[in-house]
Amino acid sequence: MDALSYEYLIRKAFNCDRGGANGMAEADIYRKMERVENAIKMRMSASSNGDLEYNYRSAAINISVNVSEALRKVSKDFHFESKNQNLKQRLQKLADNVSMSTDRKIIDDTIKEAHEIFKEIKLNLR
């Protein structure tokens, strides 16, 4: 996954521009997690590993909470036709599963699946 996929998900959910939704629609939020994750992998930071781990968890939780909030908003505010109620339930389940997660794979898989659902319900950027 990449940072722009995160930003586009938030922008679609909140129907906003970059930096909107109280600052959540910003790719740099995701990039922060990527930078810390890379520093942990390369062990090139001057910070202790404990500091890096804390910074990573903090960044990942921020992203997972934002994604969860966006998915809950869409499932609540978007008009789902009766034939698409299963998509609404999938969004709700994704929101529950990703909330407070620090697992990058869970976060990325959730963003990917949410984009697929958004495409199915024709929820696009304005």
pLDDT digits (tens, 9 = 90+) for 13-67: 999 999 999 999 999 999 999 999 998 888 754 555 678 899 999 999 999 999 9
Tell me how far CA of residue 115 lies from CA of 24, 47, 73, 108, in angstroms. Answer: 17, 35, 14, 11
Q: What is the pTM of this model?
A: 0.92
DSSP 5-33: HHHHHHHHHHT--TTTTTTTS-HHHHHHH
pLDDT score recorded for residue 95: 98
Which range, of 52-56, 72-76, 100-104, 118-122, averages the lowest pLDDT?
52-56
What DSSP state is assigned to residue 82? G
pLDDT digits (tens, 9 = 90+) for 107-119: 999 999 999 999 9
